Amino acid sequence: MKKAIWMIPLTILALGLSSCGGDEAVKPAVDDQSGAQTTPADTGSSAGADLLSERRVYFEYDSSAIDGEYAAIVEAHAKHLSSNTSLNVTLEGHADERGTREYNLALGERRAKAVARMMKALGVSGSRINVVSYGEEKPLALEHNESAWRQNRRVEIIY
Amino acid sequence: MRKTLSIIFVCLISWPALSQAILTIEITQGEATGLPIAVVEFGWNSKGKVPHQVPQNIGQIIESDLRRSGKFNPVAQKDFVSQPHTNSDVVFKDWRIARAEALLIGNVTEVSGKRYQVEFRLYDVFKQTQLAGFRYTVSADMLRLVAHQISDLVYEKLTGEPGAFTAQIAYVTKETRRQQGRNRVVYKLQVADSDGYGPRTVVTSKEPLLSPSWSVDARQVAYVSFERKRPIVYIQNLASGKRQKLSGFKGINSAPAFSPDGKNIALTLSKDGNPEIYVMNLATRRLQRLTRNRAIDTEPAWSPDGQRLVFTSDRAGKPQIYMMDSDGGNVERMTFEGGYNARASFSPDGKRLTLVTRENGKYHIGVLYLNDRSLHMVTDTQLDESPSFSPNGAIIIYATEVRGRGVLASVSSDGRTRQLYRFETGDVREPAWSPINQQLRYQ
């Protein structure tokens, strides 16, 4: 956990450098995501396990579309949940701080439901999925800038 | 003609100790277009030492109220030639020199124990006549409310419209404390005077609180709490502190808004799949669903006559403001400018909406005039949200961000005068004006 906290500023720096001139809809680059994760990268695990260590799905501004690299993460979790039927999953939807709190609460739910829909399509029973939205109330990054907003538009996969 | 009034009690029961105090109110934008009024600091006659919690700056409280409205341009103290406290001290020529058109004087006298007598007189400097004059006898804890009441009277005498300085504001604070190596976050729903003083905590929670909404009689507040790790709407009596769960369905329970007749409350619920607007009868708890589509529908707000509601919907792709009848019929889109318009609410006269609108990636407060549908920005800062009109429609309070912190700000509804409310600590957000003024009761 300590390591992950250390890495967040590096991630912000990396994102800041990589997104010069970018607009609000720029999505996080794949390489930069690992910094925000809680599992060290040097466990030497397989590709599938690496995907399972990714517990966050990121979104573009005012969007609930799950882009390619995140679809792979959701898919890996869905597969894992399908073969571990004792596990229940909570999908926590979040938004960045821009715009109104109530609209963002709705947007967070829409994002979490998009992930839930995908998991269901991949065979996870809806009764095992709990969807909750926190809107913009629980940001990961507290700064008021593009890289913070990018980290905050997310769904957390918790089980 | 002076009236002697004796206050027996005020409908607010005293609440737990004050928790958070505002340091300063800073004027960030002002135009010298208002009526020039000279407010002389009230004279003070006390027998002994005045306890520090007793406000001895009645004049300053009134002056600051009047300035905040944007309709007054108080004359600077340095231009005062004299400091009158009683009628016989007033020399009108002194005030013509100071370019004041109106003059307010007064004094406070300790009568017995903790009771004070407050007297004031308001004059028309050019006509050299007294416009109003009252005397109040109150306990020390009512002195601020008396000051706001005098502001209301001055405002009404000189503008012809009722004042709203005795109204209250509700808002949410978020404080992060470092405790035993961990960050501990505390959310509080608070209610304070219209100038931010005298905050009282209504609810404290470790989880987020949002969307406080006043009942029409200002005796209850509905709000959203995450204390059970999901959004649930509660309704709480301010005097007794008693509360009840209003809506805890599966999914989102949020955006409460009391109807003007006090019988119903509009809510956003996602229990049937996605966020839709419902109206709940407060007596029977029966729900009526008003919207029905796959988009986000949220942030309902009633028109003052209770016949219509405005709400935010992204049914056309992006969040925009819509209006519908209170039974869900006759839906009409209200905003077309810009890619983001949300959280609209009516002015008390029903002629305008205030809302959050995005321009060049920045979120400002706007005022939409319903007669010609024209949208006017009244702020130019970046993350402005949660606007609401004062009960007289003159001031809009909203939340914004200054140097990384959430703060409250107010702007006169014409956009001319802006002020920041500065709190000692933490983030402050989600302000909401009470729909009516606090009442002083007389015998």
Q: Note the pLDDT tens digit of each residue in A6-46.
A: 444 433 333 333 333 333 344 443 333 333 444 333 433 45
Kindly list the structural domains of chain B, giving each domain's residue range(s) and its CATH number in brackets, ordered by start.
31-159 (3.40.50.10070), 168-442 (2.120.10.30)
Least confident of A69-73, B17-21, B209-213: B17-21
Pairwise pLDDT comparison (B417 vs A113), residue with the higher score: A113
Q: Best residue in B223, B296, B310, B356 to probe A by mutation, most A CBs within 10 Å?
A: B296
Angle at A131 between CA A126 and CA A135, to 5 degrees: 160
Nearest-angstrom CA–CA distance, B56 and B35: 25
Which pLDDT value is given to residue A46? 53
Kindly list the structural domains of chain A, giving each domain's residue range(s) and its CATH number in brackets, ordered by start.
2-158 (3.30.1330.60)
As a dihedral over the C-alpha atoms of residue B158, residue B161, residue B164, residue B165, rounded to 10 degrees, the angle is 0
Pairwise pLDDT comparison (B373 vs A13), residue with the higher score: B373
Nearest-angstrom CA–CA distance, A14 and A12: 5
Could you say which of A101, A102, A109 has the minimum Cβ distance to residue B251?
Answer: A109
Which pLDDT value is given to residue B30? 59
Nearest-angstrom CA–CA distance, B320 and B328: 17
Interface of B with A (CB under 8 A): 208, 210-211, 226, 229-231, 251-252, 254-255, 268, 270, 274-275, 296, 298-299, 312, 314, 318-319, 340, 342-343, 356, 358, 361, 363, 382-383, 385-386, 401, 404, 429-430
Q: Give the chain A residue nearest B359 (alpha carbons).
A: A99
Q: Is A90 exposed, middle or buried (0-12, 13-18, 19+ CB in 10 A)?
A: middle
Report the share of chain B in percent with pLDDT over 70.
92
pLDDT, tens digit (0-9, with 9 covering 90-100), for B101-123: 999 999 999 998 778 999 999 99
> What value does the mean pLDDT of chain B take?
89
Measure CA A66 to chain center: 10
Interface of A with B (CB under 8 A): 23-24, 62, 97-103, 105-107, 109-110, 113, 131-135, 137-138, 142-144
Residues B311-326, mean pLDDT to the nearest whole number: 97
Residues B270-275, mean pLDDT to the nearest whole number: 95
> ipTM of this model?
0.89
- A contacts of B361 (beta carbons < 8 Å): 23-24
Predicted confidence (pLDDT) at residue B4 exceeds the cutoff of 70: no
Q: Is B70 left (phi over 0), alpha (psi -120 to 50) or beta?
A: left
All residue ranges of chain A with pLDDT < 50 are 1-45
Could you say which of B208, B226, B299 has the minimum Cβ distance to residue A100?
Answer: B299
Residue B203 φ/ψ, nearest 5 degrees: -140, 145
Nearest-angstrom CA–CA distance, B419 and B390: 14
Are the CB atoms for B297 and B311 separated by under 8 Å?
yes
First to last CA, chain B: 18
- Beta-carbon-side half-sphere exposure of residue B48 (alpha carbons within 13 Å): 5
Beta-bridge partners for B237: B220
Least confident of B125-129, B177-181, B271-275: B177-181
Which pLDDT value is given to residue B141? 86
Q: Which of A85, A158, A74, A55 is nearest to A116 (CA)?
A: A74
Per-residue confidence band for B182, with pLDDT thresholds at 50, 70 and 90: confident
Least confident of A34-38, A100-104, B176-180, B224-228: A34-38
Could you say which of A99, A105, A142 has the minimum Cβ distance to residue B252?
Answer: A105
Predicted confidence (pLDDT) at residue B313 exceeds the cutoff of 60: yes
> Could A109 and B268 be called an inter-chain contact, meaning their C-beta atoms sit closer than 8 Å?
no
How distant is the Cα of B405 from the closest Cα of chain A, in angstroms? Answer: 9
Predicted confidence (pLDDT) at residue B26 exceeds the cutoff of 70: no
Which pLDDT value is given to residue A25? 40
Which pLDDT value is given to residue B31? 59
Nearest-angstrom CA–CA distance, B443 and B425: 41
How distant is the Cα of A131 from the closest Cα of chain B, in angstroms? Answer: 7
Listing DSSP states for B365-401 in one string gives EEEEETTTTEEEE---SSB-EEEEE-TTSSEEEEEEE
Q: Convert B314-326 to b/e letters by CB count within 10 Å (16 or more is b).
A: bbeeebbbbbbeb
Nearest-angstrom CA–CA distance, B36 and B104: 11
Which pLDDT value is given to residue A7? 41
Predicted confidence (pLDDT) at residue B14 exceeds the cutoff of 70: no
Least confident of B114-118, B257-261, B372-376, B418-422: B418-422
- A contacts of B343 (beta carbons < 8 Å): 100, 102-103
Pairwise pLDDT comparison (B78 vs B33), residue with the higher score: B78
Q: What residue type is B314 in one-letter code?
A: D
